[in-house]
Every structure is written in C-alpha cells, then in structure tokens.
C-alpha cells in the first residue's frame, strides 16, 4: 500500500512570504496529523484532524498557521507570513481509526522549510 505522501520535499522562502504544504494520507485513514520538527528537537503536534473535523489545534500558532482537510482526505498546511523561526521539517502522519492517540501513526517523508 502507498505511504503518506507530502509535497514539496524542500522549500526555501524569505521571511514574510507565504508557503503551503500538501499531504495525502494512506487511503482509508481517518485521522491526519501535522507536526513541526525543529532541528535538534522532537516532532511537535500542530493539529489533528479526524475525517474533516479538527480534534485538537491547541499548539497551532493560529495568527499565521492554518490547515484544512477538505472532504476528509488530503490536507494543506499554510504559513502566512513566515518567520525565521518557522524553519523546520513539517511532518504529516495518518492513522487508520478515529480512536485517539493510541493508534499507530504512519509518517510521510516531511517537507523541509528554510526561511531566510
């Protein structure tokens, strides 16, 4: 079965520009997660969707970050405007059931963002 797909794999932008990342989860997976991984740190959960509804976005900086999961399948994470501290790898993951955080998550390869 195909894994979690993410694009682009790399992105370089200047501060104050906008950027969007796309994620296509494993087919049939109900839950989708976006993480931010800053160099030298573990992944930080930004937002969790179950189908097309938001379960938790408490750590999403809502003044500049937004995410949507239209039709409960693929998802887009946007940053507008970007800051230098947004430089990180953005990981998308999915899990089969809408059963909560005990489910095994399957991660994509990530998008590496550099903000200059």
The residue within the footprint of other proteins, chosen from 105, 111, 113, 115 (CB under 8 A), is: 105
Q: HSE (CB half, 13 Å, CA atoms) of 45? A: 14
User: Applying CB under 8 A, does 23 fall inside the site for other proteins?
Assistant: no
* Smallest distance, other proteins to C-beta of residue 56, A: 5
User: Applying CB under 8 A, does 102 fall inside the site for other proteins?
Assistant: yes
Residue 93 has φ and ψ, to the nearest 5°, of -140, 160
User: Applying CB under 8 A, does 81 fall inside the site for other proteins?
Assistant: no
Neighbours of 75 (CB within 10 A): 23
Q: What are the Cα distances from residue 86, in Å, to 11, 39, 100? A: 12, 11, 27
Closest CB to other proteins among residues 43, 115: 43
The residue within the footprint of other proteins, chosen from 9, 15, 44, 62 (CB under 8 A), is: 44
Nearest to 97 by CA among 38, 26, 17: 26
* Smallest distance, other proteins to C-beta of residue 18, A: 26
Cα 47 to chain centroid distance, Å, stands at 7
User: Applying CB under 8 A, does 9 fall inside the site for other proteins?
Assistant: no
Binding site for other proteins (CB under 8 A): 3-4, 40-45, 48, 55-56, 58, 91, 93, 100-102, 104-110
């Amino acid at each position: 079965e195909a894994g979690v797909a993410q694009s682009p794999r790399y992105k370089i932008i200047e501060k104050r520009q906008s950027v969007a990342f796309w994620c296509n989860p494993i087919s049939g997976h109900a839950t989708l997660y976006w993480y931010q991984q800053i160099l030298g740190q573990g992944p930080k959960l930004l937002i969790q969707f179950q189908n097309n509804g938001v379960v938790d976005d408490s750590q999403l900086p809502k003044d500049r970050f937004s995410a949507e999961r239209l039709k409960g399948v693929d998802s887009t994470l946007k940053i507008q405007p970007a800051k230098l501290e947004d430089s990180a790898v953005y990981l998308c993951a999915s899990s089969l059931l809408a059963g909560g955080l005990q489910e095994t998550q399957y991660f994509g390869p990530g998008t590496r963002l550099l903000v200059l």
